[in-house]
Structure 1
Amino acid sequence: MKLRNAAAAAVAACALVLSLPGSALAAEGQFHYKYTDDFGQEQRVILDDPDSGECINLYAVGSDDVESGYAPQNQTDSWATVYADADCAGSEWRLRPMGRPATDHLRVRSVRFEVRDEPRKGTR
């Protein structure tokens, strides 16, 4: 009888944990930046709902061996910190949620989005 009660309690606890909303694991929205490809053409990259709390080396510019990206724009609901070097190193700048594009002079190779416990209401 005790074993059955313990098993029922464990199943109920698992169901409760699985039904609770988790913390925000991704910034909602888009992050944009530009880079110049090997043919001299300007390209624009969009990250949809990027992961929060981890360093993201940006596509095509996330290595110190290539030209860096530029003009980042944070259109997510989280603060973003952009870095001049790969692996979230070097000079850094914070970009507000739903912000305007930064100047072409702001060079970037990596980004990290703020981890939030709960979605913020009224963030613009």
Structure 2
Amino acid sequence: MRLRNAVIASASALLLALTLSNPAQAATGDFDYTYIGTGGISVNGSLADPSSGQCINIPETIGNNFPALAPRNFTNATATVFLDADCDGDTYHVMTPGQILGGGIRLRSVIFS
């Protein structure tokens, strides 16, 4: 009887540990946007299967005077896009999966649910 209880307790502890150490999930699909490239030319950029729950700075906007624009959320997760880097500031938009926002929307960072 004691051995059975010990086995059940050990199995429960292992299951709990595996559940708590589950790695961050990724949003499935692409998050597309446009950015200003060399010579002022508009270029399409994309984040493929981005991580959920962590802020992602749009790579092409780092050290650039121009934010990205016209976000297109083709992932299966809700995306919150921010005008400022590091998902900071009061200017943001929440995008449902499949939502496309126009060229008037500017962004430097995004986080997925």
What aligned pairs does 1:104-119 form with structure 2 within 5 A after superposition?
104-114=103-113
Unaligned runs of 5+ in 2: 1-5
Aligned residue for 2:92, secondary structure, equals: strand
How far is 1:89 from its partner? 1.5
CA distance 1:41–1:97, change in 2 (3 Å): same
- Structure 2 residue identity aligned to 1:48: A
- Structure 2 residue identity aligned to 1:38: T
CA distance 1:12–1:79, change in 2 (3 Å): closer
Q: Which residue of 1 aligns with 2:3?
A: none
Q: Which residue of 2 aligns with 1:68?
A: 67
- Structure 1 residue identity aligned to 2:82: Y
CA-based RMSD of the aligned residues comes to 2.9
Aligned residue for 2:80, secondary structure, equals: strand
8 Å contact from structure 1 (residues 69, 108) kept in 2: yes
2-structure distance, mates of 1:74, 1:87:
19
How far is 1:36 from its partner? 1.0
Pairs aligned (count): 109
Unaligned runs of 5+ in 1: 1-5, 115-124
Runs of 4 or more off by more than 2 Å in structure 1? Answer: 9-20
Q: Which residue of 2 aligns with 1:36?
A: 36
How far is 1:58 from its partner? 0.3
Aligned residue for 2:98, secondary structure, equals: coil
Aligned residue for 2:86, secondary structure, equals: helix
Aligned residues: percent identity? 38
How far is 1:24 from its partner? 5.6
- Structure 2 residue identity aligned to 1:29: G
Q: Which has the higher helix share?
A: 2
What aligned pairs does 1:1-124 form with structure 2 within 5 A after superposition?
13-14=13-14, 17-18=17-18, 22=22, 25-63=25-63, 65-90=64-89, 91-99=91-99, 101-114=100-113
How far is 1:23 from its partner? 7.0
TM-score, scaled relative to structure 1: 0.71
- Post-superposition CA distance 1:43-84 (Å, at most 9, x none): 111111101111111011145x52010000111111100001
